[in-house]
Structure 1
Amino acid sequence: MSTNKLFNISIKFLILALFFDMSKVYANLLITPTRIEFEQRDRSAKVSLVNTSQETKTYKVFWREQRQAVDGKYIPLIDNDNDFLSASSMIRYSPRQVTLQPGERQHIRLAVRKPKALAQGEYRSHLVFEAQPDRRNKENNPKKQAEMKIYINLAFSIPIIIRQGDLHTDTRLAKVKLITKEINGTNHIGASIYINNTSTSSTLGSLKVFFQKDEQSQEKKIGILNNVAIYPEVSNRIITIGFTNHDIENGIMRIEYQGSDNFKGTTFFNERVVVTQSDYKSE
């Protein structure tokens, strides 16, 4: 077999291995907490990093400016995003890079310094922890067949939020789109939850879906998504949630968005929707 064919096969297997091992790699860094909120009088906080792998790991720490999209994903800010309220210029942090032995813990300390007459609003930036490649294992024999090494810098980010002034939350259920989808011969049922948002503060909580056949039947929980965040920059948010132990049938659905962490005890909305079998659409 030619050298080129061997090279191409090696690259294909390497790429496949990288994809299959991705979940294991992501478990190598434990970050606590996964969200930091500076309220009016808060001035400092810290993030704990723990290397849960069996190898020494180095992480570079830096800011990333990004906004939330309708589907909840994050997209980088562009030059004309002048209306976005960034927090990074008001926060100092250290260290900027950490090297962790297996099982070792390190704290990233953050300090806030607000400028005078800071305008009311919620300011946010994302703190990134980017794994640095280990290039220590270099080829000792330069005469060996040339090989290409692929380095992937895995990055994890958490939102850092500064709140200023009298802010409010206002998220409301707009509509529910019921969906069915066949995957590998199995029919899956779920819904796209459309939410209107006029909040000046972000929200965080669990989205839960309950079902009952009629008013006399017992209600059961058929779906839940935790850590659902909605940020002020999105006026409309679409959240897709899968159902368990649920069939296509007539009945009543109750959709609840319940706050967690700093919003624990807050119900953002709790709505009931009458559904029929014809409401379920195949995708």
Structure 2
Amino acid sequence: MKKIEEIVKIKQFKFLFYFRSILFFSVFSVLFSFYSMAQGNLLITPQRIVLEGNKQRDEITLVNSGQDTAYYSISFLQYNMTDDGSFEEVTEPLTGQKFADSYVRFFPRSVELAPGESQVVRLQLRRTPNMENGEYRSHLYFRAVPKEKPLGEEETVSDNNTIGIKLTPIFGISIPVIVRVGDIASSVVLSDVFVHKGENQQMPELTLVINREGEQSVYGDLNVEYISPGGKHFVVGTVRGIAVYTPNSLRRFSMPLNVPEEVDFSRGKLLVRYGSSSETKAKIFDETELDLK
């Protein structure tokens, strides 16, 4: 791959830097739907792949929603999830951590998409006799390849007394690919549930800890209902697609709550429920109540 173009100028010892922007997104963003996600002009469906049981193959659909032809390279990366839900590239595997990239083939490894065009990326699991029971996870990364300028096209420099750095932004999006081997499971407990005023001092904020045990990661939606002293229910908060990946044992999470006019947060209680997003296998991982006083 050719190096990103850099143009250097100098002016009165002042430096202006246009920082290179690399945007990552993952199985991992809680504000996108379960079925699709997007970054830049690339739309990806679905936003996570799980190969387990007899399921050996799956497909990912890419769509260019922009007005220009786009090029993407596809590769595997390894990420760890932190306690606050952000991601860090793996430098050293954690104890018991397993990666899926050695067992999953995908094709093609690069795509060119005209405006409005779609492309299917096919994945196939290759099980080996020595695979241990457990969950294997890697992240499939779709990296935009910047369009190269034709030879002879050069940046015009009008002032030789200035210095600056111009870097072309590179966008990327990643989704988790999970392989599960054997009879594995997990359990979830919600703890440290607390309500306090948010940064704007008007909209209250809920904080809690999602505690996970077992060999399997969990992925689901967090729903919060206010229950009045008279027994009326009001939905005051929903966040979809919250994951706690192995080998993490917990995730700290916070979310703003909507307060309808009928709701009085000085009394009543909150019902907090964390459950699977699947419509075919709906499951409540855990739920808890918080008395408001």
Which TM-score applies when normalising by structure 1?
0.83
Which of 163, 175, 198 aligns to 2:180? It is: 163
Q: Which has the higher contact order (CA 8 A, sep 6+)?
A: 2
Match of 1:235 in 2: 249
What letter matches 2:89 in structure 1? P
Match of 1:174 in 2: 191
Return the alpha-carbon distance in structure 2 between the equivalents of residues 159 and 181 of structure 1.
31
Return the alpha-carbon distance in structure 2 between the equivalents of residues 263 and 81 of structure 1.
33
Change (3 A) 1:4 1:197: same
State how 1:85-234 maps to structure 2 within 5 Å.
Answer: 85-136=98-149, 140=153, 144-145=157-158, 148-183=165-200, 187-214=202-229, 216-234=230-248
Displacement of 1:248 in angstroms is 3.8
Return the alpha-carbon distance in structure 2 between the equivalents of residues 81 and 66 of structure 1.
11
Which of 43, 53, 56 aligns to 1:30? It is: 43
Say which structure is richer in helix. 1
Match of 1:259 in 2: 276
| Preserved CA contact (<8 Å) 1:31 1:47 | yes
SS at match of 1:125: strand
Change (3 A) 1:167 1:4: same
Q: Deviations over 1:133-164 (max 9, x none)?
A: 12226773676437743112111000000010
Change (3 A) 1:142 1:109: closer
SS at match of 2:142: strand
Deviates more, 1:237-246 or 1:156-165: 237-246
Return the alpha-carbon distance in structure 1 between the equivalents of residues 49 and 213 of structure 2.
22
| Preserved CA contact (<8 Å) 1:171 1:199 | no
Which of 60, 69, 73 aligns to 1:56? It is: 69
Match of 2:94 in 1: 81
What letter matches 2:242 in structure 1? V
| Preserved CA contact (<8 Å) 1:29 1:49 | yes
State the identity as a percent.
26
| Preserved CA contact (<8 Å) 2:97 2:246 | no
What letter matches 1:99 in structure 2? E
Return the alpha-carbon distance in structure 2 between the equivalents of residues 176 and 130 of structure 1.
38
Match of 1:22 in 2: none
Which TM-score applies when normalising by structure 2?
0.81
Return the alpha-carbon distance in structure 1 between the equivalents of residues 190 and 128 of structure 2.
37
2:288 corresponds to 1:271 = yes
Match of 1:281 in 2: none
Change (3 A) 1:142 1:271: closer
Structure 1: stretches of 5+ with no match in the other structure: 20-24, 277-283
Q: Deviations over 1:59-80 (max 9, x none)?
A: 1111110121111111122225
Cα RMSD for the two superposed structures: 2.8
How many residue pairs align between the two structures?
263
What letter matches 2:241 in structure 1? N
Q: Deviations over 1:240-268 (max 9, x none)?
A: 11101255412211000121137731111
Return the alpha-carbon distance in structure 2 between the equivalents of residues 142 and 208 of structure 1.
52
Displacement of 1:224 in angstroms is 0.6
